[in-house]
Amino acid sequence: MAVVAWTPFVLYAAAASAYFVHFGRRDRAAGRLATALLGSGVLAHTFLIGMQTVAAGHAPLVGTTAALSAFVWLLGLVYLYVELTTDERAMGLFVSVLLTALAVLPALHPGVEPRPPLLRSPLFTVHVAAILFAYASFALACVLGITYVLLFKEIKRKHLGYFYARLPSLQTLDAMNGRAVTIGWLFLTLGVVIGGIWATQIDSSPDPRAQAMSVGDPKIMIALVCWGMYTFALFARRAIGWSGRRAAWLSALAFVIVLLNFLPVGYFLTRSHNF
Amino acid sequence: MRLYAVGISHRTAPVDLRECVDFARGGVDAALEALASRGLGRELVVLSTCNRAEIYAVTDAAAPADAFGRFMSEYHGVALEAIAPHLFAHAGADAARHLFRVAAGLDSLVVGEPQILGQVKEAFAAASDRKYTGALTNRLFHAAFGVGKRVRTETGLGEGAVSVSYAAISLARKIFGDLRGLNVLVLGAGEMAKLTAVHLRAQHVRQLTIASRTLASAEALVARVGGRAAPWSTLANLLTEADIVVTATGAGEPVLTRARVEEAMRPRRSRPLFVIDIGVPRDVEPSAGNLDQVFLYNIDDLQAIVSENLARRSAELQRAEAIVQEELTRFAAWMQSRGIIPTVVALRQRFEAIRQSELARLEPKLAGLPPEARARVNEITHLLVEKLLLTPTEQLKTVSDEAMAVAYADALNRLFALGGDGPAEPAAAARGRGEKVPS
């Protein structure tokens, strides 16, 4: 099991190195290799999650580590889709580094948590899957935002160099960022609404965690803050023309909060989501 | 039969002469036909661009430089004395090196420009379609395409804009992606404004608007380059609509102040504005560049980008030349082996034929021997031939000088009558050896 658990991480790391060479030297062959490695990583990860599902009899979404693993898998999948449809590999380095970093924890703890009775609802699976998909979209938006700012600064300072030669146009980065935020917002909304419905269903459960399901819980509160930020980002882009640099900063900042909510809050602070 | 590259290029001839000997005018096909009909080459490729008129030929012609010079003079009706001093001629590996450098963009007026590789491919395709190419030119040109591709992908030779207008366009592309949906506003109606308008128009922008303080001069420019003229009084609206603004008014003081640009930006929300100020003195207040989503570049900024790119390109020159050298070594080795190898093969065939004919001649004497002994005879004669040929074969394969290889091949052909019709009667030699055949 240990070997299978580490395989996605190793492949993500290999893909990150290949993307690094591709980005640094603009070597097309390295780029193709990177895509192939990332594809194999996602495939190995699919296999791992499939094995865990078969072994446990349910989707491995219980607990922050398992959710992290599913998030990494989804981000890999979403990014591959974007790369293959746009034929643009410049973002690969940033995404694969993020994937590699986040894949460490799941690789260290590959076991599947038993599913407490509380979570035996299809609503739970949809809730977690929708939110993780939203997070994957936001991660992509964050990477796009960061690269937008890097390129923006080079052009503004009239010092055309490293990123100028490697990144697509500001317009492309901005449009992709907008799309990623929109898709992420839709899934986050879906996930939050379903989570709310589910919370009312388990209201009578004796589980202390069910009792802690309230807006006062840090995890739920910060998730709603995130929803508010992305709602604002969408609104600002459409209604008051906050595209470009402002939208880029906003999506980068919002994702930092998403990540904080996902990891430290998920592991240490929440009393409602500590499965 | 040897490979030659003869012609003139921007390095050897002034533009008025290059115009006179342009093969493209009468069609490359006609030039190929004319060359072939004069028996000037078994394999021919004509490369004709605005910067060069070159003939690549595999020919037996004596003094090919003169022959091709005369051809160019007659074909184009230009005096030989006018052409001859500007003609270059390369033979063998030097011709290959020349083509490789041309294909890589190393011989171009603007080093590293990418069009030349396509032109070389077209030249080859034109010759190949009409069956003027052969084994040598096929190999040569495909090797040249490989060099061009490697230089493009492995070095930064072709990267970065090296003219001010191209630098501006590549910046616009980096900001907006596709230029096709964009509105371009040109302020001013002078020569600089015209040049830029023409360049931008070539990018298929959506709308080109020209505004000048006097509407009549804007209209005059529109008549020459297209687009629409707009009165100066609508400037505020024009600025709001525009994605790219080019200023070249020649006015004494800035026509676009920071306040004016700021005002124009407000209704645009975050839509970026790219301002190219090519006016001297400057037309745009520099502080306008500090506004969010405004990218302001003046002529000096663009010039600085161009010089930086030029410097970067020359740093890549060495790497590109190394690739040319590497591919040339490979090609030259192939060309040399091609020269000597048929001779080596013919020599071996000749020796083997002698052995076989001697064995056949001795057949009556050998018939009485037991099968093992006959096999030994066969084996020993075979080994003998192999041993005799071992050193010469090895020596021939190491001949690196092309001319020397040809000389060797000639000598061997003559000594062993390799090129002649049918094997010369080797009876005397065979008799001498025949007696030594062991029993």
What are the DSSP calls for B329-356, one per residue? HHHHHHHHHHHHHHHHHHHHHHHHHHHH
A136: pLDDT strictly greater than 50: yes
Is B292 in the A-facing interface, judged by CB distances under 8 Å? yes
The pLDDT value recorded for residue B157 is: 84
Q: Are A254 and A243 in contact (CB under 8 A)?
A: no
Element spanning A176, H or E: helix A170-201
Residues in chain B where the model's pLDDT stays below 50: 420-439
pLDDT digits (tens, 9 = 90+) for A207-245: 777 766 777 777 888 888 899 999 999 998 888 878 888
Residue A99's H or E segment, with its range, is helix A92-108
* Whole-model pTM over 0.95: no
**From the list A28, A160, A247, which residue is nearest B153 (CB)?**
A28
Which of A155, A165, A244 lies at the smallest CB-CB distance from B270? A244
Q: Is B20 a catalytic residue?
A: no
Q: How far apart are CA B428 and CA B426, in angstroms?
A: 6
CB of A35 closer than 8 Å to CB of A2: no
- Give B157 to chain A, closest Cα distance, Å: 13
pLDDT, position B428 = 38
Closest to A158 (Cβ–Cβ): which among B175, B268, B297? B297
B270/A28 touch (CB, cutoff 8 Å), yes or no: no
Tell me what pLDDT residue A272 has: 64
Report chain A residues whose CB lies below 8 A from the CB of B292.
Answer: 244-245
Contact indicator for B302, B168 with CB cutoff of 8 Å: yes
- For residue A241, the distance in angstroms to the closest alpha carbon of chain B comes to 5
Residues of B within 8 A of A164 (CB-CB) are 174
Residues A75 and A96: their CA atoms lie apart, in Å, by 9
Q: Does any CB of chain A come closer than 8 Å to the CB of residue B180? A: no
- Greater model confidence, A63 or A23: A23
Q: What gap in Å lies between CA B183 and CA A231, rounded to an integer?
A: 32
- The alpha carbon of residue A159 is apart from the nearest alpha carbon of chain B, in Å, by 8
ipTM over 0.85: no
Q: Is the model's pLDDT at A107 over the cut of 90? A: no
Is residue A262 pLDDT above 50, yes or no? Answer: yes
Using an 8 Å CB-CB cutoff, list chain B residues near A243: 269-271
Distance between CA A162 and CA B118 in Å, rounded?
A: 28
Q: Where are the alpha helices (DSSP H) in B130-257?
A: 135-154, 164-176, 191-201, 215-225, 235-241
Least confident of A76-80, A159-163, B282-286: A159-163
* DSSP character string of B368-421: TS-HHHHHHHHHHHHHHHHHHHHHHHHHHHT---HHHHHHHHHHHHHHTT-SSS
- What pLDDT was estimated at residue B314? 82
Instruction: Pick B175's closest partner by Cβ from A155, A240, A245.
Output: A155
pLDDT of residue B400: 62
What is residue B403's predicted lDDT score, i.e. its pLDDT?
Answer: 62
In chain A the first and final C-alpha atoms are separated, in Å, by 22
Question: Which is higher by pLDDT, B345 or A152?
Answer: A152
